[in-house]
């Protein structure tokens, strides 16, 4: 399996992402990878009770953030497109537990010039789906991208080889 690390450092702009930024002390610091053989974005994580809702369960909103981040990385790594979430729905099949290892993975199921449809899943280590999301992301154009990343937009565009 070819796993390529995904890092904001490679994109040419500063970030303080709650889910993936390794220097965000208040964040989750989850490292994501592009599995090029399966063409999915994946990460392994275990969250402490600092992120619980009920005493032994990861807060649903935190689980949603992890799923959203995986699907956003799928847009970048697989779809080669910067995009923002425009619609999402999630089904919680089973509990996501604190202090237990889980896997999140995301893939693209449809892509047009304007939209990217993704599916993300949180699984336990036995492969049992705990939560599953389907989201539509709206692709950002050049002008929108420059607003989002301010003046670093040109470096970001160049780093993704979008021409």
- Phi and psi for 10 in degrees, rounded to 5? -80, -10
CA dihedral of residues 131, 136, 141, 144 (deg, nearest 10): -70
| The predicted structure's pLDDT at residue 10 | 75
Helix (H) or strand (E) holding 23: none
10 vs 13, residue with greater confidence: 10
| pLDDT for the residue 150 | 64
Partners of residue 92 on adjacent β-strands:
131
Element (H, E) at 120: strand 115-124
Percent with pLDDT over 70 in the chain? 86
Contact between 42 and 31 under an 8 Å Cβ cutoff? The reply is: no
pLDDT tens for each residue of 14-64: 788 899 988 899 999 999 999 999 999 999 999 999 999 988 999 999 999
What integer pLDDT is reported at residue 162 of this predicted model?
46
């Amino acid at each position: 399996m070819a796993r390529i690390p995904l890092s904001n450092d490679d994109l040419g702009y500063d970030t303080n992402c709650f889910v993936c930024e390794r220097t965000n002390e208040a964040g989750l610091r989850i490292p994501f990878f592009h599995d090029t053989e399966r063409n999915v974005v994946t990460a392994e994580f275990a969250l402490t009770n600092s992120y619980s809702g009920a005493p032994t369960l990861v807060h649903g909103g935190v689980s949603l953030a992890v799923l959203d981040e995986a699907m956003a990385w799928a847009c970048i790594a697989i779809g080669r497109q910067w995009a923002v979430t425009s619609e999402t729905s999630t089904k919680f099949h089973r509990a996501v537990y604190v202090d237990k290892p889980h896997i999140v993975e995301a893939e693209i199921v449809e892509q047009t010039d304007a939209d990217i449809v993704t599916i993300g899943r949180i699984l336990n280590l036995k492969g049992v789906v705990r939560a599953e999301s389907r989201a539509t992301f709206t692709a950002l154009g050049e002008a929108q991208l420059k607003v989002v990343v301010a003046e670093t937009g040109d470096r970001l565009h160049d780093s993704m080889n979008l021409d």
